[in-house]
Amino acid sequence: MTRPLTRLFALLVTSVGLTSGAQVYTTDPLMLADPMYDGDVPIIQPRGLSLHSPLHYGDALVPTITTSRSGPLSYDITYTFTNTTSSSKPLGRILAGAITLGEHATVYDHAQISDFKDISYDSFTGMGWTYPGTAYSPATVLMNDTHVIGVSLLYPVMEYQHDTLVRVTKLGGVFKGPPESRGWMVAFDLNNVRNTSYYTEIHNEAMLEPGQTQSYTICVRAMKRPDAFPGKYESQNWLRVLEPYRDYFRAQFGEVTYERRTKPIYGKQIANESTTNSQNQRGWTIADLRPDRVGFAPLVNYLIDNNYAYDNVMLWAPSGLFYRNRDMNYPSLFTAGWLDSERLETATDQIGFPAIPRSGIELGLWWGRAAMHMESWDDGVAVPLDPDNAEHMQLVYQQMDLAERAGVTTIGLDAFLHRHMPVWKQKPYLEDLRARYPGIRLATEQLSSDLIHTVAPSSNRGYSAGDTPRSEEGYHRLDRPHYLADYLNPGHETWAFWRYTEILRADPSQSIDGARLQRDVERLVKNGYTPVIQNVFLQLEDPAAAHAHATWHLTQPSEGSGSDSDDLTQPDDDGGDADDGDDGDANRGSDDGSDEPSIDIPPTKQPETRTGKVYYITLPNGKRLRIESR
């Protein structure tokens, strides 16, 4: 349905002067969510909660809002912003109304991981994920004992070129509701609130230029939830509540465009900060085989002879590490660093790195800080890599040429973060490199958002340590398939880094042998992850059982289980608290890349009605006139 035309309604702007977390109370039906009920069970209620908040921006544009229904548990809310002024304007926050889940709910967390998190109204402080960035997609799924609700945002991110913060929080004040239908909010912040953190800051805000129009659609889908939930490796029919986003995403970006590889990768550091000193400034790990003294041939021969039966090796720090500016390791000059001396230049000699693929072992290199540009070795200067900068790209191509000459077929892109290179530049950049170097595969770190996952494999940290001993299974951070990646990008390749350094630090009494390694790797591959086994000097007992499974064949929703069906089941989970026992573990997938988790957000301030009233009139030309009484 389309909302009614010109009428006059009261709107009460609430709270303490529209602080960063304030919501807006309104009686204007043009700004309210349509009620959604399943019989007599409320799913969404208006409760006076405005579908748009200007946040703290006095000049934020007010959208025209239309709602279209496709069923009793399904509707889309479209927000259209038009800037008729002479300066750029912020857009604020858009949301889906008061979701009436009651006092206890479960959220599906897809920010770097794939997990169900139980939340309680009294103790919940809020969650948020930036997209692109930490969230896999601009969407979330919430559920209680009776229903599953999916809320997703459709907007052309490659065209609009801005981020959003996906926010889940509880509602208070006049929006709170009774215990059986406590209010929750899913919102999409298009601009920053006053107080942000490293994890919740929107780096590319939505600012609409004069004369421009942009539209956004929030899709709300609900379905019944029966008592039993699917097991980890069964059809996840609850994903149907994100079907509108899946269809929109496929229309925008298509399917995965690379060939999936499943076999394990052996990761080896040939330089390490623990061996970096004034006499070994690049930190080469084996003193007798230092390539700055004897060239690369002896080290290459050692790697061939000590590959632990893997046929796929990835080398970290292939040109060494920084000594003076250690906080900038790993260097982005991953091959250009070879050009600093004649002995290091032997990396591309036939007796250098090319000897590894000639021996039957595939060679990969880890490109440190791959979204940063560094011109000189260890000078302390780094800027974000800009694909539109010709000088930056000249160095990129030089490094890729050197890697190609070395016989490299895979490159891992360390800390390839949206905050350094936005995805609307990442995607054409990756496509350009793939076209220029068709024999080299690129994989990103940390786990990229959905659209980048269509053009390159991505990676994540598979282990979780902390200070408290756990069971073997307890050290696995990725304990189920990534359901949303399976749903949106079947055929995706996702790596999981695995090592024992932090695990042994938590419990030094553990015995790490080939049998333990095999068990841990089989847990990873069962969840669909390609294992990257870092600095573990053990051989797999059964390499054939260490290939990543195609989990989407198991987890895709079954045919015909649409959003009005009732064949859902309950998460096969122990319920997990807000951090699933991660004990504050801040280990990085590759020791340095920013591994950004979902983040708790302080509760938003709830409205307090003030005496003044604000009236809006929608004029025939679509403009909204604001009238305030004192």
pLDDT greater at residue 606 or residue 80: 80
Range in 100-109, 114-123, 222-231, 497-506 with the lowest mean pLDDT: 222-231
Average pLDDT along the chain? 88
The least confident of 81-95, 202-216, 268-282, 563-577 is: 563-577
What is the reported pLDDT for 588? 34
Residue 560: the pLDDT is: 61
Q: Tokens 């085989």 label which residue?
A: 289
Using CA atoms, how far apart are residues 444 and 429, in angstroms rounded to an integer? 12
- Write the pLDDT tens digit of every residue in 280-327: 999 999 999 999 999 999 999 999 999 999 999 999 999 999 999 999
Q: 246-263: per-residue pLDDT in tens?
A: 999 999 999 999 999 999
Provide the β-strand partners of residue 26. Answer: 11
Output the pLDDT for position 21: 59
Confidence of residue 101 (pLDDT cuts 50, 70, 90): very high
**Residue 81 confidence (pLDDT):** 98
Q: What is the 3 state secondary structure string of 276-300? A: CECCECCCECCHHHCHHHHCCHHHH
CATH number of the domain at 425, please: 3.20.20
Specify whether the CB–CB gap between 136 and 122 falls below 8 A. Answer: no
Nearest to 478 by CA among 389, 399, 551: 551
What are the CA-CA distances from residue 250 to residues 175, 240, 443, 516 (Å)? Answer: 36, 15, 21, 40
Lowest-confidence pick of 397-406, 409-418, 585-594, 616-625: 585-594
The parent domain of residue 528 ranges over 265-555
Residue 628 falls inside a structural domain: no
**Amino acid (1-letter code) at residue 98:** A
Q: What is this structure's pTM?
A: 0.88
Let me know whether 223 and 306 are in one domain: no
Q: Quick check: is 133 in a domain?
A: yes
Work out the average pLDDT over 57-71: 96
Phi, psi angles (nearest 5°) of residue 615: -115, 145
Same domain, 597 and 459: no
Q: Encode pLDDT of 181-204 as tens digits.
A: 999 999 999 999 998 988 899 999
> Helix 423-436 and helix 390-405: axis angle, to 10°?
40
pLDDT at 565 over 80: no
Q: Which of 111-115, 315-319, 371-375 has the lowest mean pLDDT?
A: 111-115
- As given in the structure block, the two tokens for residue 530 are 């390609």
pLDDT class for 238, splitting at 50, 70, 90? very high
In-domain check, residue 26: no
- Dihedral sign, Cα of residue 350, residue 352, residue 357, residue 358: positive
Chain-centroid distance, C-alpha 453: 10
Instruction: Give the chain's domain count.
Output: 2
pLDDT in tens, 576-593: 333 333 333 333 334 433
The answer to whether residues 111 and 55 belong to one domain is yes
pLDDT at 527 over 80: yes
Asked whether residue 354 falls in the same domain as residue 243, the answer is no
Is 244 in the same domain as 373? Answer: no
CB atoms within 10 A of CB 341: 13
Q: What is the full DSSP assignment across 522-588? A: HHHHHTTEEEEEES-----S-GGG-SPP-THHHHSPPTT--TT-------SS----TTTT-TT----
Q: Give the model's pLDDT for residue 220.
A: 98
What is the rounded distance in angstroms from the CA atom of residue 580 to the CA atom of residue 585?
Answer: 11
Same structural domain, 282 and 379: yes
Question: Is residue 168 over pLDDT 50?
Answer: yes
Q: What is the pLDDT of residue 5?
A: 32
The pLDDT value given to residue 614: 42
Query: Are the C-beta atoms of residues 238 and 558 closer than 8 Å to each other?
Result: no
pLDDT given at position 487: 98
Whether residue 170 is found in the same domain as residue 309? no
Return the SS3 of 73.
coil
Q: Same structural domain for residues 453 and 433?
A: yes
CA distance 95 to 354: 55
Confidence of residue 267 (pLDDT cuts 50, 70, 90): very high
pLDDT at 27: 94
pLDDT, tens digit, 9 for 90 and up, residues 459-515: 999 999 888 888 999 999 999 999 999 999 999 999 999 999 999 999 999 999 999
Asked whether the beta carbons of 371 and 384 are under 8 A apart, the reply is yes
Q: Inform me whether the pLDDT recorded for 233 exceeds 70.
A: yes
Element (H, E) at 257: none
Is residue 409 a contact partner of residue 403, using CB atoms and an 8 Å limit?
A: no
Same domain, 303 and 222: no
Q: How far apart are CA 37 and CA 40, in angstroms?
A: 6
Contact at 8 Å (CB) between 459 and 494?
A: yes
Question: Same domain, yes or no, for 199 and 317?
Answer: no
Tell me which DSSP letter residue 380 carries.
S
Residue with tokens 């967390």: 109
Q: Which two tokens stand for residue 205?
A: 């805000």
On whether the CB atoms of residues 607 and 24 are closer than 8 A, the answer is yes
Phi, psi at residue 120, to the nearest 5°?
-125, 140
Phi/psi for 518 (5° steps) reads -60, -45
Residues 269 and 241 in one domain: no
Is the same domain home to 401 and 432? yes
pLDDT of amino acid 584 = 32
Task: Specify if 179 maps to a domain.
Answer: yes
Domain membership of residue 531 (yes or no) is: yes
For residue 583, being part of any structural domain is answered with no
Residue 627 falls inside a structural domain: no
